[in-house]
Amino acid sequence: MTKRILGFVLAVAVVFYAAVALAESKAKGPKQDKKDAIQEKIAAWDKELNLTPAEKTKMHEILLQAKQEIQKLKKDYKLQADKAAKEEAKSKIKEIRRNAHDQIAGLLTPEQKTKFKEIRQKKDLDNKDPED
């Protein structure tokens, strides 16, 4: 009988520990991933565009600024009950992203701009792919 009780308590402790660990990883995981997302995006572009250190630094600044603006809008968006206000926020987010990409394109040489435009168009097509 004591072994059964001890086994049950141990099983409950393991389940509780797993639940706490999962909750903590969910709380920490996305924030870390988002911090690295800008660096990963720039690294991917660098492979295609052969960016200078100055271009990478400026891109990082532009993307970080856009990210902060989008986060603020998303926070405000989540507080909105009005569907029209939510749609307006989504539209503003698209505009912020478009402006950031336009600023980045302004940093690039004509050859890099052409390749950057191709990269963006491919990404847009991939995002519209119903199988993704």
Is residue 18, in this structure, part of any structural domain at all? Answer: no
35-57 mean pLDDT: 92
Is residue 22, in this structure, part of any structural domain at all? Answer: no
Q: What are the CA-CA distances from residue 99 to residues 2, 5, 11, 70, 88 (Å)?
A: 67, 63, 54, 12, 16
Contacts of 46 by beta carbon, 8 Å cutoff, 6+ apart? 56
Is residue 90, in this structure, part of any structural domain at all? Answer: yes
For residue 48, the one-letter residue type is E
Is residue 10, in this structure, part of any structural domain at all? Answer: no
Count of the separate structural domains present in the chain:
1
Is residue 4, in this structure, part of any structural domain at all? Answer: no
**Which residue did the predictor score with more confidence, 89 or 38?**
38
Is residue 7, in this structure, part of any structural domain at all? Answer: no
Average pLDDT in the chain: 81
Indicate the pTM of the whole model.
0.67
Q: 107, 57 in Cβ contact below 8 A? A: no
CA proximity to 73, closest of 85, 64, 60, 61: 85
